[in-house]
Amino acid sequence: MKRVMTVGGSDCSGGAGIQADIKTFAALGVYGTSVLTAITAQNTYGVHEVHEVPVEVVDAQIAAIMSDNGFSADYAKTGMLYSTAMIGVVAKALRRYKIPFVLDPVMMAGSGGVLLEENALNSLIEQLLPLCTVVTPNVPEAGAISGVEIRTKKDVKEAALKIHQLGAAAVIIKGGHLESEISAGKATDLLYNGGKFTEMSSPIIKTGKVVHGAGCSFSAALAAELAKGKTLQDAAASAKKFVHDAIISGAEVSTMIVVDQVQRLRNDADRYWTLGNVKEAVRMLLKIDGFETVIPEVGTNIGMAIAGVASEKEVAAVNGRIVPTREGVVTAGCVDFGVSSHVARLILAMMEQDKARRSAINVKYSPEIVEACKSLGMSVASFDRDKEPKNVKTMDWGVRAASGKFNFVPDVIFDLGAMGKEPMVRIFGNTAVEVAEKVNRIVGNLK
């Protein structure tokens, strides 16, 4: 595992600084070490206090990490370096240990507050800029370093050229603050490697709030990807997507959106767990004695959505449905994501009413099945296909119509069919295994 060292300030609110860096490293599969340069007292309303760590303690932290083969950094990134003295100590250490690093020229906190003393900017330019692999200023920071007033994409290129001339091997100017790009609906970062310009764009995320932790997370992700051996352009593209996703899934806290660096890990874990849950539910269904008696003519299917479902492709179900053979043996296809539009639409419609109801199954309709559901204490509702409005999706409308009869979301929704439409009972639950257990109880009740 590659090891990446972050040198920067602590954000007690957990959204940016060292805390954001460590979360980013963990999410991207590198081992993170940290060198604390300052302690800040900050929250969504601003930076209230800054206490700089003594420079000799900072130097000792770096020495401790680099003198231990178990921790010695393959790559580094710098963040908040509050003073000229701090910049000098860090620059000497990075030069001494020949550590390649990403320079994030942090000057202001997203919540407001100065994180770089005014007289320290020249020290950063003179001592750190010529040493770094790449520097990652946002538009205001790029303007301060280059002396260029940035209003257009042409100005961004001019600033990148000047920063390169000041000694940076490569420059990435983040475009989230560029008003002309916002009007175009894109956030465009500009990479200049001394030979050519490369633009990297993503849609603007319109939160209406200040985003906290994006800059730190970008430079940390960039350092992690470079440590893993990616080219600068590929690493920058990966880091940009990482931060874009982290902003989308970020938490709304007071006046800010705090980026969520570990959402990808949670999504991957939930996706794996969801797939396994549906597979286990299918195994349970196939073992139920008499399960074939509740399978409708069109076959049955069971599915489950991931927690942050955004489309039908994020619903796991049986490919080809569950059907009985002539011999009475029930068979099922493989379980995978995006293989059943019907059950996916059903689940998505239910999750609009209750996000916890992530699973559903369809079984055949009979008065006996409906009564079995009621006798087992399940809440039951129905909708009438003859009253379905034109130009609506049946499941979307049907689930809303049935749910509207209660002050809560029902466990079971059925309809009596229509011309060319088989009557159907649909059973919902929080997990596929829970739904399979309900089916087992219903079949047992019917006996």
Residue indicated by tokens 């969801």: 274
> CB atoms < 10 A from the CB of 416, how many?
14
Instruction: Provide the residue-wise pLDDT of the chain in tens; the chain has 447 residues.
Output: 999 999 999 999 898 999 999 999 999 999 999 999 999 998 878 888 989 999 999 999 999 999 998 889 999 999 999 899 999 999 999 999 999 999 999 887 665 556 777 788 999 999 999 999 999 999 999 999 999 999 888 999 999 999 999 999 999 999 865 655 544 567 889 999 999 999 998 887 777 788 888 999 999 999 999 999 999 999 999 999 999 989 888 888 887 888 899 988 888 999 999 999 999 999 999 999 999 999 999 999 999 999 989 899 999 999 998 998 776 667 888 999 999 998 999 999 999 889 999 999 999 999 999 999 999 999 999 988 888 788 777 777 888 888 877 777 899 999 998 887 899 999 999 999 999 999 999 999 998
CA dist 321 and 298 (Å) reads 9
Of 242, 150, 236, the closest CA to residue 193 belongs to 236
Q: Is 191 helix (H, G, I), strand (E, B) or coil?
A: strand
Looking at residue 368, its amino acid is: E
pLDDT of amino acid 293? 93
- Residue 148: C-alpha distances to residues 145, 165, 182, 192 (Å): 8, 13, 20, 16
Residue 381 φ/ψ, nearest 5 degrees: -140, 170
The token duo for 217 is 């997370």
**Three-class SS of residue 77?**
strand
User: Is 138 in contact with 104 (CB distance < 8 Å)?
Assistant: no
C-alpha 66/C-alpha 161 separation (Å) is 33
Domains along the sequence of the chain with CATH? 3-260 (3.40.1190.20), 267-446 (3.40.225.10)
Q: What b-and-e string marks burial along 307-342, b requiring 16 or more CB atoms within 10 Å of the CB?
A: eebeebebbbbbeebbbeeeeeebebbebebebbeb
Q: Contact, 431 vs 417, CB < 8 A?
A: no
Do residues 80 and 115 make contact, with C-beta atoms less than 8 angstroms apart?
A: yes
Task: Say how far apart CA 407 and CA 269 lie, in whole Å.
Answer: 33
Q: Tokens 């257009």, residue?
A: 152
**Six-digit token pair at 11?**
């954000």
- Quote the tokens at residue 252: 């709304």
Q: Please give the structure tokens belonging to residue 5.
A: 């060292």
pTM above 0.75, yes or no: yes
- Cα end-to-end span (Å), the chain: 57
What pLDDT does 182 receive? 46
Q: How far, in Å, CA of 425 to CA of 370, rounded?
A: 8
CA distance 433 to 302: 10
> DSSP H helical segments within 121-184, as ranges?
121-123, 139-146, 153-165, 179-183
